[in-house]
Amino acid sequence: MAIKTTDLNARLFGKADKRRATTPAEAQTAARDKAAVIELAVAGEQTVAFELVKINAAEVAAKTQVFAENAREQAFLNEHALADILNTLKERGQQYPAVGRWLDDGRIEVLDGSRRRMSCILAERDFLIYVAKGINGEHAKFLSDVANAHKPLSLYERGKEMQLLLSTGKVADQKELAKYCQCSEALVSGALKAASLPMELLMAYPSVGELGRPTIVKLHRLYFGLDEAQRDQLVSQVNNGGQALWKTIDAQGITRITREVTTQLENFSETLQPKVEPEKPKAQELVKGKVSYTRDGDKLQLKLKKLTERQSEEILAYLADYLK
């Protein structure tokens, strides 16, 4: 049975589209049908037939790969980052098939569904994917970008896309980036800061997608406040033993673990570049046994001893007159 292009959104994403499904329930039912073939007008151009393929759980990693130009960073996909779909997938299996294309070597390249793919690998469940032949690079990128709209990209991932826009000259500066991406300049600044950080540092966290601008700004200041050798040492400490730092934290919940990771990174940074307390200015003797002073920037402290009442009055009167 073939599905018309007009039903694609509902069947692939379980999402109600007013032009294609009248209720969410209808969309869910259509997705559960998992038709053997769907017909999709890719990027509004040619219609392509996609065949539903089921890959055994043990073969998902070997028989599939993710589209290289997918904006979602695959290294960040762990049980915390996938928590929104992983539990349901473990219990009931994959509800909505992914979308991909056949490669020349017989493997499948995932264009839409890299999070579902990794969830199937972690949960050891079969992977369902609609696959087609003859999808060129431009159309593959279109399908991949459309898919990423269903789960917001992290600041790091958005920053990488923004870096590409700047490097290719599509936009001139951060102000144009904000207009092009339809977001605030503050978000652009945070995203670019995130993209400038090494992945190894960000992977110290349980879910990079949960890192907001305040944490990113703090990390950026911490990391780039070190010299190059110290940065290498920091990354080395974070990756000590090959285990992600967040896995060593004895806490529950992403928020608490994230906070603890940040604290540990700050502690690492301080050991590499300990804070130097400024030396306090020392008192200087002006008249032995009677007058000493301390100079601190534009501040001057005088300490006078053994003064008569007349001397005190005359000195105060002089200062008052001099400093008018």
Neighbours of 144 (CB within 10 A): 24
Residue 135: predicted pLDDT: 87
- Two tokens at 119? 């969830």
- The first and second tokens of residue 162, run together, are 């923004």
- For residue 24, the model assigns a pLDDT of 37
pLDDT of 63 over the 70 cut: yes
Report whether pLDDT(97) > 80: yes
Residues written for the chain: 324
Angle at 131 between CA 125 and CA 133, to 5 degrees: 150
| pLDDT of amino acid 22 | 36
In this predicted model, what pLDDT tens digit does every residue of 270-320 receive, in sequence order? Answer: 888 766 677 788 888 888 888 888 888 888 888 888 888 888 888 888 888
DSSP 280: P
Which of 135-139, 183-187, 207-211 bottoms out in mean pLDDT, i.e. has the lowest? 135-139
Res 73: pLDDT: 85
pLDDT over 90 at 151, yes or no: no
Q: What is the pLDDT of residue 41?
A: 66
121 close to 89: Cβ distance less than 8 angstroms = no
In percent, the amount of the chain with pLDDT more than 70 equals 84
Q: Cα separation of 275 and 298, whole Å?
A: 24
The larger pLDDT score, comparing residue 6 to residue 27, is at 6
Reported as a pLDDT band with limits 50, 70 and 90, residue 66 is very high
Rg from Cα positions in the chain? 31
pTM score? 0.63
Say if residue 223's pLDDT is above 70. Answer: yes
Answer left, alpha or beta for residue 283, where phi above 0 means left and psi between -120 and 50 means alpha. beta
Average pLDDT, the chain: 83
